[in-house]
Amino acid sequence: MLEGRLNIVRDHRRLLESKSEDLRAKRQTLNEVYRFVGRVEQSLENYIITQQDSQLVEELTQLKSRISYLESRLNSNDEEKRRRTALDYISKNISSYARCIGAERFDDPAHLDLTNLTIKISSMGRPDGDYLWEIGSGANWMGYHISTLLALHQYFLSLKSCPVPNFLVIDQPSQVYFPERWPNDPDPKNPNKQPYEPNSDDIECVNKIFQTLSEGLIRTDNKLQLLVIEHADEVTWSGIENINLVERWRNGKALVPLDW
């Protein structure tokens, strides 16, 4: 009976593993690394047996160093430690940027949930935390998204080598505060309509967005390039360090030219 239950569990495990492309890819990568290490070790033994010259001795030393590096990367404990260290670094910066942008609960620790690809906010009253979709409001979602993206790029740029491009394109972060048209733009459907005028609180909130983006540039020593496509006018970002107007796409002038 126990053997039958064990076989059922094994079958279930194999079924779950077969559905995980990521797990198969990791397993394949590990197998390739193990084979590489095996080939290098065999080559090292051959070098020792044949007693090659000084040039080969130098190559031997380099290969030994490479083996030590790969073995350290294969250590599951070290890998988990590096993962936790990276997540702690990113989480602290998410909270810091959230404070700058004025998101709710910025004093509560924010954690990047890799399983669900979202943010979880912890608190004393709720030890399990709240997911981003549970704390509500478009302003919070926008604020934590920008905070997370800046925190991720800050981490990527802290690495010696990283394949992630060092630029970020953000489209209309002010949309949660303003309509799609900027207040001074005429309404093509109703030219006589009184233009919407934002209140000072809306302008201040958008100003915090640009202040936070500028802070991201400062913390990365301007190694990060930010491209912001925005309807908000100069009143929302004027005077903020690192924020520069490149072009105004209005009155028929667009990012993608009409003759294209």
Domains of the chain, residue spans: 2-74, 80-236
Q: Name the percent of the chain lying above pLDDT 70.
A: 75
Tokens 């690809």 belong to residue? 117
Local confidence band at 202 (pLDDT 50, 70, 90 cut-offs): confident
User: pLDDT (tens digit, 9 = 90+) per residue, 88-108?
Assistant: 999 999 999 999 999 888 888
Burial (CB count <10 Å: 0-12, 13-18, 19+), residue 178: buried
* Sheet of strand 110-113: strand arrangement: 110-113, 118-121, 130-131
- Residue 133 has a pLDDT of 82
Q: How far apart are CA 111 and CA 15, in angstroms?
A: 31
Domain 80-236: assigned CATH number:
3.40.50.300
Local confidence band at 215 (pLDDT 50, 70, 90 cut-offs): very high
The answer to whether the pTM exceeds 0.85 is no
Task: Say if residue 124's pLDDT is above 60.
Answer: yes
Q: How far apart are CA 239 and CA 94, in angstroms?
A: 25
Task: Say if residue 50's pLDDT is above 70.
Answer: no
